[in-house]
């Protein structure tokens, strides 16, 4: 037999447990990064403190006893204070978990403390996953599970080795032996004791666990309760400042610095994707002192619904060929939902939601900013650049005052209580005079909104270049007027703001709109991906002749909005905006996560079951057809006249079969046995091993009375093969054949 494989002693097991516990604590603490919870202090302490105590475990013994006594009352007080001042349960709970996790990670742990550490870690990982619905959760929970299982295994081995007498760690003077840590030595020992076969089996089994959990996930019965998750209500998420009701210069540009994905959109019919993608989110109708905002009148027009609802009827009339758009809006983006235009129906995937809607402005606002990915499905969405009037007037149960008959749409009949004017300019007389002068200089024809838009855009582009970096000239005037008066470059907010002021000064109702422009077509997951860097601000100008609002994008380089332009060839469009980069592939994974995992419901489950059934039936049908075809071909071949070639073919097949059998019996089988023997028995002769196998089989049988002598003879020969010198061996193959026969037919005499 080979040399005995070394194994970890008790101290080394303790060291491994300590290492795993620390790693688990850090892994679970870092999951909080995906949630908008202010916990940098505790995260920092864990990130710095835990590696320190992993490296020097004796540091844990330096903590005075009174700290241990005071720790839990202190944590309770901190939690109470946190909740009292913050008024939010979930962030306080997360911070409490982090405190406890930190304490458990940097103090000596017994078994129950390790269990506490695991439960705290699981809580953090699951809560972070629920609140963020991030793809990282999938990796994190798998890593956490693997780490936890190994930790539990090591804890169990330690318990078995100690047999109920745990090591007590109480004083710095007599630290346990395992605390004298040398990580390099431990690493070497781990490498020594590792058996690649057991490790491979372990990894394979863990892969099986992940596979089984995936199977369970899809197979667990689902019921449609359509409840909102209570955890969502325990945390408040702020929108990005560029997508809130008050936008200062630079807020949208700040969002553009971020290249992460903000929105993923599945489109059932990609041919309906418009050439110019403007994802409207928010209308800003008021400007004062460098800040655009939503006026109170407009806010009042956004009608809060009394009852949360899952299905919303829009102002567009449904038609048969409408495409279905599924939006996956990343958490924390905004509470205003991006839309291309009007829609016929919108459904929230996460059940009924509180919302407010403005039918004519096509604005949809949620009760609060979603903390996690928010999915909704839109049907019959209009993608034209001109908004137009609503096709139908859906009934609302709005709590706010309703807007009478499109008073804001005309821009002429207006009421301060019912709607904004979109003509108001809050500038002093000198600034207004300057604006008027610029408008006059445009020399635009009156009552032609399109021509005005074109000329004003050209005038702005002539005086200013586009730049993400804005430098406003000094002065006491309004910052926007100062910028217009200069030749400084600017970004989309400045261009859109300047255009709005010019249009209003010229008597055209105008407003600024924020949202996203463009997007890329992910060829991996076949969806539109819109990043935060696509954040944009543009304008909408009321055309009194056509009684519609036109989209105008005055930012240099923007495509000109042509309402009646012919739709670009879908294939060309998709090729133009397609993204095949590695980041797109990763985004595809994220979309897969949203489509197949996060949005998996009873309907999807039934669909999956149906698909699986159909796939199995198709495969069985294919196999059946293949067999039929094969049999038919063989039959036809047999019916053909015999000649030398056919006979030779048959002979070749028979010879091949015989060669395979003989090769297996005389070469391959022995080789396989030798290989298996070298794997498991440190080179024990395969003949001896097989002889041992047959000996055991024979002895487990009741020998027939009539064949006792034959049995004993066979047993003696097997024993010679098993234990005797090789020189006197009988023919091993013949002996094994007889042994096989004897085991197969125990009552036969002819052994």
Residues at the site binding another protein, with contacts judged by CB under 8 A: 1, 4-5, 7, 112, 115, 119, 122, 126, 129-130, 133, 137-138, 141-142, 145, 149, 152-153, 155-157, 159-161, 163-164, 197-198, 201, 205-206, 208-210, 212-214, 216-217, 220, 222-230, 351, 597-601, 679-681, 695-696, 699-700, 719, 722-723
Q: Determine whether 679 is exposed, middle or buried from the number of CB atoms within 10 Å of its CB (0-12, 13-18, 19+).
A: exposed
If the CB atoms of residues 368 and 432 are measured against another protein, the closer one turns out to be 368
Which among 307, 313, 544 is positioned nearest to 412, based on CA atoms?
544
Which among 714, 696, 690, 694 is positioned nearest to 704, based on CA atoms?
714
If the CB atoms of residues 526 and 693 are measured against another protein, the closer one turns out to be 693
If the CB atoms of residues 477 and 601 are measured against another protein, the closer one turns out to be 601
Query: Closest separation between CB of residue 302 and another protein, Å?
Result: 28
If the CB atoms of residues 567 and 602 are measured against another protein, the closer one turns out to be 602
Burial 694-709 (b: 16+ CB within 10 A, else e): bbeebeeeebbeebee
596: number of Cβ within 10 Å: 12
CB-CB contact of 332 with 255 (8 Å)? no
Query: Closest separation between CB of residue 9 and another protein, Å?
Result: 9
Query: Closest separation between CB of residue 460 and another protein, Å?
Result: 47
Q: Determine whether 516 is exposed, middle or buried from the number of CB atoms within 10 Å of its CB (0-12, 13-18, 19+).
A: buried
For helices 449-463 and 492-505, the axis angle rounded to 10 degrees is 130
Q: Which residues pair with 283 in a beta bridge?
A: 513
CB-CB contact of 75 with 100 (8 Å)? yes
Query: Closest separation between CB of residue 203 and another protein, Å?
Result: 12
Alpha-carbon distance values, 529 to 98, 328, 523, 534, 588 (Å): 35, 10, 10, 10, 9
CB-CB contact of 377 with 347 (8 Å)? yes
Query: Closest separation between CB of residue 197 and another protein, Å?
Result: 6
Query: Closest separation between CB of residue 704 and another protein, Å?
Result: 17
If the CB atoms of residues 544 and 597 are measured against another protein, the closer one turns out to be 597
* Token digits of residue 232: 């969502």
CB-CB contact of 340 with 277 (8 Å)? yes
Q: Please name the residue that has the structure tokens 């745990």.
A: 166
Query: Closest separation between CB of residue 370 and another protein, Å?
Result: 14
Residues 6+ apart with CB under 8 A from 143: 27
If the CB atoms of residues 85 and 230 are measured against another protein, the closer one turns out to be 230
Alpha-carbon distance values, 519 to 148, 468, 553, 701 (Å): 41, 19, 16, 75
Query: Closest separation between CB of residue 217 and another protein, Å?
Result: 4
Query: Closest separation between CB of residue 5 and another protein, Å?
Result: 6
CB-CB contact of 145 with 137 (8 Å)? no
Q: Determine whether 750 is exposed, middle or buried from the number of CB atoms within 10 Å of its CB (0-12, 13-18, 19+).
A: exposed
Alpha-carbon distance values, 486 to 464, 480, 482 (Å): 8, 10, 6
> Cα(259)–Cα(257) distance, rounded to whole angstroms?
6
Q: What's phi and psi for 251, nearest 5 deg?
A: -65, -45
Query: Closest separation between CB of residue 676 and another protein, Å?
Result: 8
What is the CA angle 403-409-410, rounded to 5? 120
Query: Closest separation between CB of residue 648 and another protein, Å?
Result: 46
If the CB atoms of residues 354 and 601 are measured against another protein, the closer one turns out to be 601
Query: Closest separation between CB of residue 612 and another protein, Å?
Result: 17
Q: Please name the residue that has the structure tokens 């200062």.
A: 248
Query: Closest separation between CB of residue 699 and another protein, Å?
Result: 4
If the CB atoms of residues 211 and 475 are measured against another protein, the closer one turns out to be 211
Q: Which residues pair with 345 in a beta bridge?
A: 313, 379
> Cα(679)–Cα(195) distance, rounded to whole angstroms?
11
If the CB atoms of residues 534 and 690 are measured against another protein, the closer one turns out to be 690
If the CB atoms of residues 315 and 332 are measured against another protein, the closer one turns out to be 332
* Token digits of residue 501: 């002021």
Task: Report, in angstroms and rounded to the nearest whole number, the Rg of the chain calculated over CA atoms.
Answer: 38
């Amino acid at each position: 037999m080979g040399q005995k494989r070394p194994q970890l002693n008790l101290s080394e097991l303790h060291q491994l447990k300590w290492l795993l516990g620390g790693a688990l604590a850090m892994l679970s603490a870092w999951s909080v990064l995906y949630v908008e919870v202010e916990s940098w202090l505790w995260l920092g302490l864990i990130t710095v403190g835990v590696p320190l105590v992993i490296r020097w475990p004796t540091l844990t013994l330096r903590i005075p006893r009174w700290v241990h006594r005071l720790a839990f009352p202190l944590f309770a007080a901190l939690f109470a204070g946190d909740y009292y001042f913050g008024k939010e349960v979930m962030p306080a709970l997360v911070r409490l978990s982090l405190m406890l996790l930190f304490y458990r990670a940097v103090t000596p742990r017994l078994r129950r403390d390790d269990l506490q550490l695991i439960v705290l870690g699981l809580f953090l990982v699951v809560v972070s996953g629920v609140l963020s619905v991030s793809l990282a959760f999938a990796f994190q929970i798998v890593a956490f599970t693997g780490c936890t299982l190994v930790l539990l295994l090591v804890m169990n081995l330690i318990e078995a080795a100690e047999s109920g007498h745990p090591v007590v760690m109480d004083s710095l003077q007599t630290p346990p032996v395992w605390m004298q840590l040398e990580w390099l030595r431990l690493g070497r020992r781990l490498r020594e004791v590792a058996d690649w076969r057991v490790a491979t089996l372990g990894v394979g089994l863990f892969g099986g666990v992940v596979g089984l959990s995936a199977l369970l996930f899809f197979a667990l019965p689902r019921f449609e309760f359509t409840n909102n998750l209570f955890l969502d209500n325990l945390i408040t998420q702020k929108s990005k400042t560029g997508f809130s009701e008050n936008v200062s210069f630079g807020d949208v540009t700040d969002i553009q610095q971020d290249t992460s994905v903000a929105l993923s959109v599945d489109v059932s019919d990609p041919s309906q994707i418009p050439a110019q993608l403007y994802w409207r989110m928010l209308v800003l109708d008021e400007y004062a002192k460098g800040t655009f905002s939503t006026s109170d009148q407009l806010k009042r027009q956004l009608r809060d619904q009394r009852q949360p609802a899952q299905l919303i009827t829009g102002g567009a009339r449904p038609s048969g060929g409408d495409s279905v758009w599924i939006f996956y809006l990343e958490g924390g983006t905004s509470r205003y939902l991006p839309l291309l235009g009007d829609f016929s129906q919108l459904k929230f995937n996460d059940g009924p939601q509180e919302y407010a809607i403005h039918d004519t402005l096509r604005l949809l606002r949620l009760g609060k900013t979603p903390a996690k990915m928010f999915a909704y499905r839109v049907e019959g969405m209009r993608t034209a650049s001109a908004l137009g009037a609503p096709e139908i007037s859906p009934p609302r149960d709005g709590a706010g005052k309703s807007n009478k008959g499109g008073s804001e749409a005309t821009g002429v009949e207006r009421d301060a209580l019912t709607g904004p004017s979109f003509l108001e300019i809050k500038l002093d007389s000198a600034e207004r005079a300057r604006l008027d002068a610029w408008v006059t200089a445009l020399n635009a024809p009156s009552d032609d909104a399109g021509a005005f838009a074109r000329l004003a855009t050209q005038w702005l582009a002539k005086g200013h270049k586009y730049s993400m970096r804005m430098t406003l000239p000094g002065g006491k005037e309004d910052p926007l007027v100062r910028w217009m008066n200069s030749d400084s470059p600017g970004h989309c907010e400045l261009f859109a703001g300047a255009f709005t002021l010019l249009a209003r000064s010229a008597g055209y109702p105008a407003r600024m709109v924020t949202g996203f422009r463009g997007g890329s077509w992910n060829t991996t997951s076949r969806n539109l991906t819109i990043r935060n860097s696509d954040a944009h601000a543009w304008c909408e100008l009321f055309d009194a002749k056509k009684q519609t609002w036109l989209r105008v994008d005055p930012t240099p380089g923007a495509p000109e909005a042509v309402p009646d332009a012919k739709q670009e060839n879908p294939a060309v469009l998709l090729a133009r905006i397609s993204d095949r980069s590695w980041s797109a592939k990763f985004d595809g994974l994220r979309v897969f996560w949203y489509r197949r995992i996060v949005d998996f419901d009873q309907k999807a489950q039934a669909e999956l079951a149906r698909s699986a059934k159909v796939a199995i039936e198709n495969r069985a049908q294919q196999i059946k057809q293949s067999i039929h075809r094969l049999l038919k071909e063989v039959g036809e071949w047999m019916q053909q006249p015999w000649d030398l070639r056919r006979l030779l073919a048959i002979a070749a097949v028979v010879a091949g079969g015989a060669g395979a059998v003989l090769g297996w019996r005389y070469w391959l089988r022995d080789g396989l046995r030798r290989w298996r023997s070298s794997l498991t028995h440190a080179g024990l002769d395969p003949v001896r091993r097989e002889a041992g196998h047959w000996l055991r089989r024979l002895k487990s049988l009741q020998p027939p009375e009539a064949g006792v002598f034959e049995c004993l003879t066979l047993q003696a020969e097997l024993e010679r093969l098993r234990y005797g010198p090789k020189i006197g061996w009988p023919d091993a193959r013949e002996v094994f054949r007889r042994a096989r026969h004897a085991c197969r037919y125990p009552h036969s005499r002819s052994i």
